[in-house]
């Protein structure tokens, strides 16, 4: 018998045996020993099948852009993890900046922001610290970059309510930078200020900064940035608008410039 013929005979018996075994598994499915064999086969092959399916799915996702739930979930998990890491980094950086402010000459309390909201057309946020830390009505509240976020308008024992600086009714003595001209910044709502008492002819430009006068907060704390200029045919003062520099809705912590000497206890 030739080598080729023997090889064909072996193949015939192997294929035949496999067909017989498959037929027996189908016929005796779920019975006695056959059931045990089925379970063993499924259990031993399951890891290999999962690996093959996972590889196929990722190839299909990468080449054709057709992603199953597992691939989409894996990608979403990676993006979420990266976002959370970046967010944590930003929060830690903000806390470091706020703690630097608290090391200055003035008494500064770092407090967590536990709620942000709106009522009657005004924005506000709630701090998780209050009178026990020396916080009182009228205290200036800043973000980690020394930008004015608001003013404390109500203080309880362990909380404080802060009105956003640009709310209607909030007014600040300020100075234009770099002109060093004193002005009055009056809140109009919607993150906008009217910059009052600026004489006609003053060479103010869009992008100039509006800072609180020293005395209300450490150094030159930024309040707003000039956004629009409107010429008047008559009158003593210019019509200037500025936008709030801080973004209170994104803050997780804030620094309160307190007047009490017990603030740092």
* Cα–Cα distance measured from residue 82 to residue 86, given in angstroms and rounded to the nearest whole number: 6
* Pair (86, 110) in one structural domain: yes
pLDDT at 107 over 90: no
CA distance 193 to 184: 9
Which pLDDT score, from 0 to 100, does residue 214 have?
63
Say how far apart CA 132 and CA 136 lie, in whole Å.
10
- pTM beyond cutoff 0.85: no
- 118 and 15 together in one domain: no
Range of the domain at 184: 168-245
| Predicted local confidence at residue 8, as pLDDT | 64
pLDDT band at 79 (very low <50, low <70, confident <90, very high): very low
Q: Are residues 159 and 253 located together in one domain of the fold?
A: yes
Q: Model confidence over 3-24: pLDDT tens digits?
A: 666 666 666 666 666 666 656 6
For the segment 125-138, what is each residue's pLDDT rounded down to a tens digit? 999 999 999 999 99
Same domain, yes or no: 57 and 136: no
The token pair that represents 219 in the structure block:
């150094």
E strands along the chain, which residues?
107-119, 122-127, 140-142, 148-155, 160-164, 171-177, 181-189, 192-196, 209-212, 222-230, 239-244, 253-258
177 and 239 belong to one structural domain: yes
Last residue of a domain, one of 39, 64, 89: 64
Considering the domain architecture, whether residues 125 and 157 belong to the same structural domain is answered as yes
Strand-pair partners of 194: 186, 241
Last residue of a domain, one of 18, 38, 64: 64
Average pLDDT score over residue span 101-120? 79
> Beta-carbon neighbour count of residue 250 at 10 Å?
11
Categorize the per-residue pLDDT at 201 as very low, low, confident or very high, splitting at 50, 70 and 90.
confident
Closest-CA residue to 207 (of 222, 188, 189, 187): 222
Please state the domain count of the chain: 3
Identify whether residues 127 and 150 lie together within a single domain: yes
């Amino acid at each position: 018998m030739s080598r080729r013929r023997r090889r064909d005979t072996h193949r015939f018996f192997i294929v035949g045996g496999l067909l017989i075994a498959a037929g027996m598994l189908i016929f005796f499915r779920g019975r006695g020993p056959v059931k045990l064999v089925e379970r063993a086969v499924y259990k031993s092959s399951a890891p290999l099948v999962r690996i093959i399916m996972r590889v196929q799915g990722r190839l299909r996702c990468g080449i054709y852009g057709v992603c199953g739930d597992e691939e989409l979930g894996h990608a979403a998990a990676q993006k979420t993890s990266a976002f959370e890491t970046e967010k944590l980094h930003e929060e830690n950086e903000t806390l470091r900046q706020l703690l630097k402010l608290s090391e200055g000459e003035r008494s500064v309390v770092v407090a967590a922001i536990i709620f942000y909201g709106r009522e009657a057309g005004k924005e506000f946020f709630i701090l998780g610290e209050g009178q026990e830390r020396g916080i009182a009505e009228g205290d200036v509240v800043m973000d980690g970059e020394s930008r004015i976020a608001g003013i404390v308008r109500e203080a309880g024992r362990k909380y404080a309510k802060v009105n956003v600086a640009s709310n209607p009714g909030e007014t600040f003595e300020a100075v234009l930078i770099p002109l060093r001209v004193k002005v009055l910044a009056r809140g109009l709502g919607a993150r906008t200020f009217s910059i009052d008492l600026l004489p006609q002819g003053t060479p103010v430009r869009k992008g100039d900064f509006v800072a609180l006068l020293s005395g209300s907060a450490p150094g030159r704390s930024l309040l707003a940035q000039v956004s629009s200029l409107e010429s008047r045919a008559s009158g003593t003062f210019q019509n200037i608008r500025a936008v709030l520099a801080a973004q209170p809705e994104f803050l997780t912590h804030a620094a309160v410039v307190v007047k009490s000497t017990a603030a740092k206890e």
